[in-house]
Amino acid sequence: MKQNNWFDPFFIFENLSEEDLHIQKNVKDFSESILKPNVVKHNRNHYFDRELYKEFGKLGLLGSTINSHGGSGASDTAYGLIAYEIEKIDSSYRSSISVQSSLVIHPIHSFGNEEQKDKYLPDLISGDKIGCFGLTESEAGSDPSSMKTTYKKHQDGYILNGNKNWITNSPIADIFIVWALNEKHETNSIKGFILEKETKGLSTNIIENKTSLKISPTGQILIDNVYFHNSNCLENTEGWSSVFSCLNKARFGISWGVLGSATECWLIAKDYVENRIMFKKPLAANQLIQKKLADMQTEINLGLAACHITAKAMNEGKDIINSISILKRNNCKKSLDIVRDCRDMLGANGLIEDYHIMRHLVNLETVKTYEGTEDIHSLILGRNQTNIPSF
């Protein structure tokens, strides 16, 4: 059969700009040569090498869309491609890049003053400093507006009290973006603060028994009467829409990333069924198997096409709130279905860690949950259609 474009039927990769293609190739080479060889071992040991951040920085993967302070001013498509290539190896590594870029560098760049940008962005973009984003609390997950963390004005600064839970990177972070309400818990009083690791009263814990996203350190932020100067406040935030602007960016990256995970597993399963002989012929010679491959190819490419269109809309400054919820919800759901089918196609071998698929499968359970669960995105889309909130 002549060569055909089964892998890229909508010519998404073929039509990338030269710059985006170049970025994708560099990230792919890095992922395969540096991340992939140790991923199974590091996952088994819950091990994250913080020096990796410097490697990410050197490659321009942190704050890639920022035009200043060392950022390379890459396109939103390039940001998506970075997530796609990195998550082919493990969702944990994509999480590291998402949090630093979308949840730490983005709010400082968008809502910080010039001194804050000069002070924090260069080290975050180079990977010399690691950041985290504290929104969720034990009793405020899907509904962050129920948070109990509060600030109060004190002298020429603020005093902050509360606890954040399930925070990516908190155990290894140098810089903490923390969101809090005023003492009356008024929803519209939400403010963001930049805290530093050494601040008195600030400490962290690690969640040690996670069964998913094991390479990525996740923990709590414990904030006990933490006093800091006014200059640590992100003074240009505009209520919740500023919080959500961070989430929009992270959700966009996740939407590309999970398709990287799905693609990796699809290709592993395709190779396996082409070579595995059962009933005296390759598994791939069975119609049921070919249908599964066709379903994977279809969903991955439809998802990528939608991500690509959304990246262009973002570059043009269009309102992408609905597209982001559609993508985050659907791409996570479809990727989980695909990876589960891949696991099945490898039979017992699908359970072996060296085939990578089970690790991707359990990681995707996290990715389905964070940044708005699948059902929360259904409710966002339902509310936006009907104008009736049903949360």
Residues that bind ligand TGC in the complex, under the rule CB under 6 A:
95, 98-99, 133, 135-136, 142-145, 168, 239-241, 244-245, 247-248, 250, 321, 370-372, 376, 380, 391
Contact in structure between 179 and 149 (CB atoms under 8 Å): yes
Residue 37 interacts with which of ligand FAD, ligand TGC, none, CB < 5 to 8 Å by class: none
- Residue closer to ligand FAD (CB basis): 242 or 366: 366
x-marked contacts with ligand FAD along 248-287 as a string, rule CB under 6 A: ----------------------------------------
Through-space distance between the first and last CA atoms of the chain, rounded to whole angstroms: 53
Q: Is 332 exposed, middle or buried (0-12, 13-18, 19+ CB in 10 A)?
A: buried
Residue 375 interacts with which of ligand TGC, ligand FAD, none, CB < 5 to 8 Å by class: ligand FAD
Residue 245 interacts with which of ligand FAD, ligand TGC, none, CB < 5 to 8 Å by class: ligand TGC
Rule CB under 6 A: is residue 245 a binding residue for ligand FAD?
no
Rule CB under 6 A: is residue 373 a binding residue for ligand FAD?
yes
Q: Which of 75, 91, 136, 220 is close enough to bind ligand FAD by CB under 6 A?
A: 136
Cα dihedral: 60, 63, 65, 70 (round 10)? -60
Q: How far apart are CA 98 and CA 91, in angstroms?
A: 10
Choose one: 107-115, 136-144, 195-203, 266-274; the region binding ligand FAD (CB under 6 A): 136-144
Residues 320, 321, 322, CA angle at the centre, nearest 5°?
95
Residue ranges of the alpha helices (H) in the chain? 18-30, 39-44, 52-58, 76-89, 91-98, 106-111, 114-126, 240-275, 287-315, 321-345, 357-369, 374-386
Q: Which of 109, 233, 370, 380 is close enough to bind ligand FAD by CB under 6 A?
A: 370
Q: How far apart are CA 271 and CA 264, in angstroms?
A: 11
Residues 315, 317, 319, CA angle at the centre, nearest 5°?
120
Of 174, 53, 69, 151, whose CA–CA distance to 117 is shortest?
69
Residue 145 interacts with which of ligand TGC, ligand FAD, none, CB < 5 to 8 Å by class: ligand TGC
Residue with tokens 């540096």: 34
Residue 369 interacts with which of ligand TGC, ligand FAD, none, CB < 5 to 8 Å by class: ligand FAD
Instruction: Give residues with Cβ within 8 angstroms of 337, minimum separation 6.
Output: 299
> Minimum CB separation from ligand FAD for residue 84, in Å?
20
Question: Is 365 a catalytic site residue?
Answer: no
Rule CB under 6 A: is residue 99 a binding residue for ligand FAD?
yes
Catalytic residue among 19, 87, 371, 374: 371
Choose one: 68-76, 105-113, 162-170, 288-296; the region binding ligand FAD (CB under 6 A): 162-170
Integer angstrom CA distances of residue 146 from 181, 186, 366, 370? 9, 10, 22, 17
- Residue closer to ligand FAD (CB basis): 142 or 230: 142
- Residue closer to ligand TGC (CB basis): 74 or 376: 376
Residues that bind ligand FAD (CB under 6 A): 99, 132-136, 141-142, 166-168, 213, 218, 366, 369-371, 373, 375-376, 391
Catalytic residues: 371
